[in-house]
């Protein structure tokens, strides 16, 4: 993406195009964004894998263990902010969104079925993410490990699987160019995107 050419008219398309590319490319810097949630008292931020960026629904998706604290936070407050950084291009994108947790439904099932078996294992830990362990480890039952993973053996993990879909309302775009910086706010008005320049 050549961000130098981005205009107020093109920015929404440019951003969604970069995010869409990242969702399909494991080596893209936007593929590992930070996602922030808040409860009534404090905020938490963590790295996730960007699984889908769909401009039609203005939707960003990550996966999580249903038992993780972030899911409780989203249920308490659906406001979720994503932060994407491309260090080489000098671009930061902050996407403000409202999140929905999909579990045990058609959408969750579709994502689950497309997940490689090795990734499904991440949802098979005996206890919730963040639970104490007597010694370091991944908390996954030993009988699930080994070279002969099958979808059937890992199906128990589906009960712990959530796809978190976030509908984006505002994107704050910042580009630190070699000869000057630019920043813009791109807002969904209900019908289309409207962008304004901001002081970086």
Ligand X SMILES: Cc1cc2nc3c(=O)[nH]c(=O)nc-3n(C[C@H](O)[C@H](O)[C@H](O)COP(=O)(O)O)c2cc1C
- Minimum distance, C-beta of residue 38 to ligand X, in the bound complex (Å): 11
Is 20 or 69 the residue whose CB approaches ligand X more closely?
Answer: 69
Is 69 or 90 the residue whose CB approaches ligand X more closely?
Answer: 69
**Spatial distance between the Cα atoms of 170 and 165, rounded to a whole number of angstroms:** 15
Is 104 or 131 the residue whose CB approaches ligand X more closely?
Answer: 131
- The angle at the Cα of 79, spanning 75 to 80, to the nearest 5 degrees, equals 100
68, burial (CB in 10 Å: exposed 0-12, middle 13-18, buried 19+): middle
- Minimum distance, C-beta of residue 35 to ligand X, in the bound complex (Å): 8
> Given CA atoms 163, 164, 167, 173 in this order, what sign does their dihedral have?
negative
Is 27 or 143 the residue whose CB approaches ligand X more closely?
Answer: 27
Q: How many residues does the chain have?
A: 200
Is 101 or 170 the residue whose CB approaches ligand X more closely?
Answer: 101
**Spatial distance between the Cα atoms of 126 and 130, rounded to a whole number of angstroms:** 12
Q: Which residues face 79 on adjacent strands?
A: 98
For residue 9, give every residue at least 6 positions away whose Cβ sits within 8 Å of its Cβ, in sequence order, or none. 195
Number of residues that bind ligand X (CB under 6 A): 14
Is 170 in contact with 188 (CB distance < 8 Å)?
yes
Is 10 or 104 the residue whose CB approaches ligand X more closely?
Answer: 104
Nearest to residue 30, comparing CAs of 10, 58, 63, 52? Answer: 52
- Minimum distance, C-beta of residue 70 to ligand X, in the bound complex (Å): 3
Q: Does residue 140 belong to the site contacting ligand X (CB under 6 A)?
A: no
- Minimum distance, C-beta of residue 101 to ligand X, in the bound complex (Å): 12
- The footprint of ligand X on residues 10-69 (CB under 6 A) is 32, 44, 46-49, 62-64, 68-69
- Minimum distance, C-beta of residue 68 to ligand X, in the bound complex (Å): 3
**Spatial distance between the Cα atoms of 156 and 84, rounded to a whole number of angstroms:** 32
Is 94 in contact with 82 (CB distance < 8 Å)?
yes
- Minimum distance, C-beta of residue 46 to ligand X, in the bound complex (Å): 3
- The footprint of ligand X on residues 71-90 (CB under 6 A) is none
4, 117, 130, 138: which one contacts ligand X (CB under 6 A)? 130
User: Binding residues for ligand X, per CB under 6 A?
Assistant: 32, 44, 46-49, 62-64, 68-70, 129-130
């Amino acid at each position: 993406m050549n961000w130098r050419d981005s205009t107020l008219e093109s920015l929404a398309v440019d951003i969604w195009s970069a995010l869409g590319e990242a969702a399909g490319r494991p080596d893209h810097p936007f593929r590992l964004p930070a996602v922030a949630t808040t409860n009534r008292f404090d905020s938490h931020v963590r790295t996730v894998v960007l699984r889908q960026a769909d401009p039609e629904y203005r939707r960003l998706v990550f996966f999580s263990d249903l038992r993780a604290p972030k899911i409780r936070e989203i249920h308490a407050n659906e406001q979720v902010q994503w932060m994407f950084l491309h260090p080489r291009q000098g671009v930061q994108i902050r996407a403000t969104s409202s999140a929905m947790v999909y579990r045990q439904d058609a959408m969750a099932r579709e994502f689950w079925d497309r997940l490689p078996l090795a990734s499904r294992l991440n949802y098979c830990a005996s206890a919730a993410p963040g639970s104490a362990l007597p010694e370091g480890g991944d908390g996954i039952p030993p009988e699930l490990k080994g070279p002969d993973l099958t979808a059937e053996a890992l199906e128990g993990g589906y009960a712990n699987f959530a796809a978190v879909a976030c509908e984006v309302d505002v994107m704050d775009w910042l580009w630190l160019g070699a000869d000057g910086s630019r920043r813009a706010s791109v807002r969904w008005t209900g019908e289309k995107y409207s962008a304004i320049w901001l002081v970086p």
